[in-house]
Amino acid sequence: MNRIPFLHYFKDEQDIFKSYFLALIPLLLFGFYKNGILLYQNGLIQEIEIFRPLYFVVVSLGVGFAVAKIMRDEVKNNLLLSLIVMASMSLNTNLLIYAILLFVLLFPLCISVL
């Protein structure tokens, strides 16, 4: 009878958040390349629209940080949630409407965590 050794490896919450953020970095960079630089090189968008994916990232981080400060919650929870929501949004979404909806979406999530 073969015995399989078990490794007991416990990750704390901070390590899990670090791995989530590290996993999102290549996805964000690829999205910036695919939806910004590549479209500009093919002549489908203007120069100002190259940075549109970056605008979504900045708005997501800003809204996540603002909700965390208003609710006195941990910032990293809201930043991660807002980045995950941003990764599922279409680039044709209006940036102002996106910011308002993200703000409204994060409030019930913060209240349910409290």
pTM over 0.95: no
Q: Which residues contact 113 (CB under 8 A, 6 or more apart)?
A: 73, 77
pLDDT in tens, the chain (114 residues): 555 566 566 777 788 888 888 988 898 888 888 888 888 899 888 888 888 888 888 999 999 899 888 888 788 888 888 888 888 888 788 889 989 988 888 877 656 555
